[in-house]
Structure 1
Amino acid sequence: MKVLIAGAGRLGTQIARVLSAARNDVTLVERDEDRVAELEGMPQVRLVAGDACEPGLLERAGAFACDLFIAATGRDEDNLVISLLAKRQFGVGRVAARVNEAENTWLFDGRWGVDVAVPATTPLISLIEEATGATDTVALLRLSKAGVEVIETAITARSRAAGHTLGEIGLPAGTVVATVVRDGRPTVPGPGVRLMPGDELLLVSHEATEQEIQAAFQ
């Protein structure tokens, strides 16, 4: 699958790493040339410097040939313009856009070319699953080796996290809980989910070590 991502912030970069590790053809567009230089050498990802709101730049980046476009900048107005261009001018089949400000959610629909609107608070892997239409999230997680660590932990009766909500757990920086598996059923976690013995968690992090994450729960 050919994927074009606008915005090389933390979110856009993480998405690019996971999707490229899953053997997709990924291009990442970023207007900040310093950020592009910082990411040079990123494995299996093509970097393009420029403003993704400009049709000419998107054409050079390969918008006509892409199967999935993800607008992941930190500005809602940019994500809307980019999504509209992707859908109406370049005919991209699936367009996902990040919603940074909750009050703007109503704008992110088909009128602006958005197929999937994803709130900024959505966990990384849930966002990728929504954007790609993937159903085997765990398989995708296990492919994410390029700079994004996937860590599993299980809650027991002795775990310090047992009986506490996710919102009460102090997670290391750069870490999100991707899913909580309870009684064999994975769920998208919210801060109000209370952890119980027998729960299994999958976490994604680009900074923390496995020891730091285990310490938060065990």
Structure 2
Amino acid sequence: MKVLVAGAGRLGTQIAQALSATGNDVTLVEYDDVRAAELDGLPHMHVVQGDACDPGRLEQVGALVCDLVIAVTGRDEDNLVISLLAKREFGVGRVAARVNEAENAWMFDERWGVDVAVPAATPLISLIEEATGATDTVALLRLSKAGVEVMETAIDEQSRAAGLTLGEIELPAGTVVATVVRDGRPTAPRPEVRLLPGDELLLVSHEATEQEIHSAFQ
């Protein structure tokens, strides 16, 4: 599936990481050039700088051939414009948009090209399920056609992995770390990254159980 995610905040980046780690072709679009540069080089996805409200830029980054557009910027007006362009200008089959302010929820419907409106408080897994139409959930996420699970674990002071580098942790068979989120920002999962209390990890596996993941880090 070809996916375009507009907005590279914490949520948008986690969505992009989860979807790309399960075999989807994901492009993450971010208006702020500094933020886009910070994310450049994250594995398994394309990160581009640009204004997703600009139809020309949307076309440049592949909106014409997208199966799914997810608008998760911090501004409702931007998410609505992106959704409308995706649906009306580019004929994208499925469009999901985040609702940041509850009083604006009434606008997020088919009139603005929104197939799935997701409140800001919706957990990551629910947003991905709603956006993709996937319903087969085990642990955090299993995209139905991929047969791959995306699981989440958090590091605290008591975690056995606290203070260790990723390279020092023996992961279960068939498991990779997709990203380490620290202070709300994703970090490329290089072997030398040392885990600290407060870190959150997204892991992708086609074999490990949730208990095995827990045992490796906790």
Please report the TM-score for the alignment, with normalisation by the length of structure 1: 0.68
2:149 aligned to 142, 167, 177, which one?
A: 142
- 1:154 aligns with none
What is aligned with 1:128?
128
Aligned length: 159
Partner of 1:137: helix, strand, or coil?
coil
Q: Spell out, residue by residue over 1:47-86, the C-alpha distance to the aligned partner (whole angstroms, 9 max, x if none).
A: 1101000000000000000000000000000000000000
Letter in 2 for 1:108: F
Q: Percent identity?
A: 72
Runs of 4+ in 1 over 6 A off after TM superposition: none
Spell out the pairing of 1:39-78 with structure 2 (5 A cutoff).
39-78=39-78
Residue 104 of structure 1: how far off its partner (Å): 0.5
State the Cα deviation string for residues 94-134 of structure 1 (Å, max 9, x = none). 00000000010000000000000000100000000000000
CA RMSD of aligned residues (A): 2.3
Q: Using the TM superposition, give the Cα deviation of residue 174 of structure 1 relative to its aligned residue in structure 2, in angstroms.
A: 7.2
Moved more, 132-141 or 72-81: 132-141
User: How far off its partner does 1:210 sit?
Assistant: 4.6
What TM-score comes out, normalization by structure 2 length? 0.68
Letter in 2 for 1:125: I
8 Å Cα contact 1:76/1:101 also seen in 2: yes
- For residues 108 and 148 of structure 1, the distance between their equivalents in structure 2, rounded to whole angstroms, comes to 32
Contact 2:95 2:131 in 1 (8 A): yes
After TM superposition, give the deviation of residue 147 of structure 1 in Å.
Answer: 1.0
Whole-angstrom CA distance in 2 between matches of 1:148 and 1:92: 31
Show structure 2 runs of 5+ residues with no match: 152-176, 182-196, 201-209
